[in-house]
A and B are shown apart, each in its own frame.
Chain A
Amino acid sequence: MTDPMHTHRGTDALIARLSRQARPPRPLAHPVRRALGWAVIALGFAVAMVWAIGPRADLVERLGDARFLFEQGAALATGLAAAAAALALTIPGASPLWRLAPVVPGALWLGTLSLGCLRDWWAMGADGLRLTPDPACFFYIALIGSLPGLVLYLMLRRGVPLAPRLTLALAALAAAGLGNFGLRFFHAQDAALMVLVWQVGSVALIAALAGLAGRGLLRWSDPRPA
């Protein structure tokens, strides 16, 4: 039979050790504010990548196209909302409604692309819905999302892993969403079905894979006393 006082002594020692480390912690800003700070880094990296790879030849024309702008706006909003949601999920006691933040912009993104598919089919018939392999999308989205993903991961580690799988899936959605946003400034592929399958599909795949790795990558740090 274990002496309860003996086991308490371990906890008392832990409390004494922790209270000696009561340095004032650096407070965390609001998740939206942190997400905006992250977006500055992510967009800066995306601009650098577009500049390095070379913008698409018809970029000026595309910037005057309302459909392109709407799709890009929805992708950007989805990424930002997912980043804020991921950051909020690492704050104990934050509203669980945060996890729904990317739903509306995400639905707008998917909705506008789905409508685009219908318009392409209406305008060009079966040719408008032709699906050809474009695996480079996955590579470019992962590349442009890599640094923002890493930065966001480090930011998440300042919080705690209350829901690690969902948190990391949302963070990857944010990074890959921004990656897709950057991709379309140099990758001349605007057929809605192609964008939906290869680009949004890549974003979803990256988010799903990150979600599976969530428990391994976001862990509580439990340094036991020696």
Chain B
Amino acid sequence: MKTAQGRTDDAVALEPLMMRAQSGDGAAYHALLTEVAVRMRRLVRRRAPWLSAEDTEDLVQDILLSLHQARGTWDPARPFLPWMVAIARARLADNARRYARRAAIDLAAADLAETFFDGAANITEATVVNMMTVRKAMGDLTPAERQAVELLRLREMSLAEAAAVSGSTVAALKVAIHRAMRKMRGTLWKE
């Protein structure tokens, strides 16, 4: 089995499943879709926590349906993960339009590389551009707003943890994150 540098054990496991799925193995396809659903659900919940459970599942189902539609385009000679990430990115972007939550979903799209990849060599140019855009958007924030984004969104702390670390209050952090996301959304819409 061909392996690529920097891929995780989990990631390696998806390629044989997809190969078997492409040859008509329903059980392998079931296992693959279940694994993708778990990862996507986790990702969407983390990056777009305001979405309802139904909206989250809608997004996950969109990605699964899109994977199904696209499965003939995967070439077993090429790695599975960049292929999957490209589909998920496209669907997240489409849904960002639908929910008018583009900024935060774009953050989720940028984070896909972290979810699926652990090697710098696997980060696509598009992801780099996305991350640069996010960084640029963060440049417009006040120090307090930037700290709120870093603690609550990037380091994924709870409000109480972030308040303890920053020496701020939960209420002040709520205001800061709200203002930060609004500003970043405005910046990312312009991009």
Contacts and interface: CB of A to CB of B under 8 A. Distances in A.
Interface of A: 2, 4, 7-8, 10-11, 14-16, 18-28, 90-94, 96, 158-162, 220-224
B96 interface: no
B23 interface: yes
Main SS of the interface on chain B?
A: helix
Given A2-B53, A21-B68, A160 B30 contact: no
Interface in B40-84: 41, 52-54, 56-57, 60-62, 64-66, 68-75, 78-79, 82-84
Contact of B90 (A26, A96, A162, A223): A162
A220 B91 contact: yes
Contact of A15 (B23, B28, B30, B69): B30
Interface of B: 21-30, 33-34, 37, 41, 52-54, 56-57, 60-62, 64-66, 68-75, 78-79, 82-87, 90-91, 94, 124-126
Contact of B66 (A23, A93, A96, A160): A160
A114 to B, nearest CB: 32
B73 A8 contact: no
Main SS of the interface on chain A?
A: loop
Given A19-B27, A94-B86, A160-B73, 12 more contacts: A11-B37, A11-B41, A11-B60, A22-B25, A22-B26, A25-B71, A91-B73, A92-B86, A93-B86, A160-B90, A220-B65, A221-B65
A25 B72 contact: yes
Contacts of B124: 96
B66 A220 contact: yes
Given A25-B22, A222-B65, A19 B33 contact: yes
Given A8-B57, A162-B86, A222-B62, A28 B73 contact: yes
Contact of A7 (B22, B53, B68, B125): B53
Contact of B21 (A22, A28, A93, A221): A22
| Nearest 10 CB-CB pairings of A with B | A25-B72, A92-B86, A19-B30, A93-B82, A93-B83, A22-B29, A22-B26, A160-B70, A7-B57, A15-B33
